[in-house]
Amino acid sequence: MANPARRTVQTTTQVSFWRRRWENIEPAVSALVEDGLLLLIFVVVLTVVYLALGMLAGLGYDPRRIEMFETIHYWAYLAVFGLFMLDLVLRVLLHTISKR
């Protein structure tokens, strides 16, 4: 006959395993989440600027100036997005290596 206490012990062990696993990666995930929030704010600001440029173009603003602003916007977007993606990859790599 199965011991009813046995199942309870097993469940507790499993729960504590996942908890320990989460506690292990939680500081790293927290640092990534903070970066993610910052990236989100940057992306929204850049999107709003892009739409504003589109509206200016629609209202007949000088196309050559729009083109110049659009170029500036592109490089700002590339710098922000490139750096955050690079950081994400390097951080995950570093975390993986340091855990081994």
Partner 1 sequence: MQRLHQLWYIDLEARRRFQVRTMLIAFAYGLFNSLGLGRSEKQVTWETLGVAFFLTVAFSAFYCLRKSTSTETSKVIFKYAHLGEVFRQNRKIFEVGLASLVVLLALSLAIHLPNSRVQAAGIGMQLRRALSSPDPSDPNTIKEITTAFRMATADRVSINPKLANVAGKRVVEASRENPDAWSAALAFMSYRSTLNQEMSSLKKGTCIKVGDVSGIAVHVSESVLANCSQELDHVAWKNVVFENVTVVYHGSPTVLENVQFKNCQFSLDYTLSGQALAKSLAVSNNLTITLPGS
Give residues in contact with partner 1 (CB under 8 A).
26-31, 33-34, 37-38, 40-41, 43-44, 47-48, 51, 53-58, 63, 66-68, 70-72, 74-76, 78-80, 82-83, 86-87, 90-91, 94-95, 97-98
Query: Which of residues 9 and 86 has its CB atom nearest to partner 1 in the complex?
Result: 86
Query: Which of residues 9 and 48 has its CB atom nearest to partner 1 in the complex?
Result: 48
Tokens at 12, concatenated: 């507790």
CB of 16 to partner 1, least distance (A): 17
Beta strands in the chain (DSSP E): none
Query: Which of residues 9 and 29 has its CB atom nearest to partner 1 in the complex?
Result: 29
Question: Strand, coil or helix: what is 59?
Answer: coil
Tokens at 40, concatenated: 């989100």
Residue 79 CB-half CA count within 13 A: 8
Tokens at 38, concatenated: 């910052």
